[in-house]
């Protein structure tokens, strides 16, 4: 009788990693890599730069793990580190308002639509943009999103609905859809 894939909680992994168990940090890395890339992408608008930011965020987390007292809040703590890294990168680039990366210009209606959707997403206030990008980047669970953004699952739902309504309005104003 066994389930080998039932996952230990973040708190268990953090405690083991704080004791020097590298594989436990590896498990946290596997668990949070993509959500953190998504969070960085919401800030930077560039997937390659977002990957770099996520790598740096994990390096800082690895070095500073001892400072995390509330081990259950690892996701939110890592998310905070990621936002700091992202802001530093933006400052270095002197780019206050990042535009999203666009698809290669092949002139198709589908590509125009995707570009318009991205523009609409990046018009959202940062909290709503983070939520939308995390939700649609790789289909993360509501629980994972609420952990990284440190908001309740109910708040995730409410914010998601409001953000999508705004995106629809932006798109309509831009002449997309009916």
Binding region for another protein (CB under 8 A): 1-9, 12-13, 15-27, 29-30, 33-34, 37-38, 41, 47, 51, 55, 58-60, 62-63, 65-66, 109-110, 113-115, 117-118, 121, 132-133, 135-138, 143, 164, 167-168, 171-172, 176-178
In the bound complex, what is the minimum distance in angstroms from residue 95's beta carbon to another protein? 20
- Which is nearer to another protein, 50 or 90 (by Cβ)? 50
**119, 101 contact by CB (below 8 A):** no
In the bound complex, what is the minimum distance in angstroms from residue 6's beta carbon to another protein? 6
- Which is nearer to another protein, 20 or 107 (by Cβ)? 20
Closest CA to 61 of 81, 41, 75: 81
Closest CA to 75 of 57, 87, 91, 88: 57
**135, 159 contact by CB (below 8 A):** no
- Which is nearer to another protein, 94 or 112 (by Cβ)? 112
In the bound complex, what is the minimum distance in angstroms from residue 150's beta carbon to another protein? 19
In the bound complex, what is the minimum distance in angstroms from residue 67's beta carbon to another protein? 12
- Which is nearer to another protein, 94 or 109 (by Cβ)? 109
Q: How far apart are CA 36 and CA 79, in angstroms?
A: 7
Calculate ∠ Cα 161-165-166, nearest 5°: 120
The CA-atom distances, in angstroms, between 123 and each of 21, 61, 75, 130, 173 are 42, 30, 26, 12, 13
- Which is nearer to another protein, 118 or 123 (by Cβ)? 118
In the bound complex, what is the minimum distance in angstroms from residue 94's beta carbon to another protein? 26
167 CB-contact burial (10 Å; exposed 0-12 / middle 13-18 / buried 19+): buried
């Amino acid at each position: 009788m066994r389930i080998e894939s039932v996952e230990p909680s973040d708190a268990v992994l953090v405690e083991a990693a704080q004791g020097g168990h590298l594989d436990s940090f590896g498990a946290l890395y596997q668990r949070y890599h993509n959500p953190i890339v998504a969070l960085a992408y919401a800030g930077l608008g560039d997937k390659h730069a977002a990957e770099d930011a996520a790598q740096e965020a994990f390096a800082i987390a690895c070095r500073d793990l001892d400072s995390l007292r509330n081990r259950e809040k690892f996701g939110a703590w890592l998310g905070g580190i990621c936002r700091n890294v992202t802001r530093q990168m933006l400052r270095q680039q002197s780019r206050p308002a990042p535009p999203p990366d666009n698809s290669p210009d092949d002139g198709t209606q589908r590509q125009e639509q995707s570009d318009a959707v991205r523009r609409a997403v990046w018009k959202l206030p940062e909290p709503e943009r983070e939520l939308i990008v995390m939700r649609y980047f790789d289909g993360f669970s509501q629980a994972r999103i609420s952990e990284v953004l440190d908001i309740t699952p109910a708040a995730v739902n409410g914010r998601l609905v409001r953000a999508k309504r705004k995106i629809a309005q932006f798109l309509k104003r831009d002449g997309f859809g009916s």
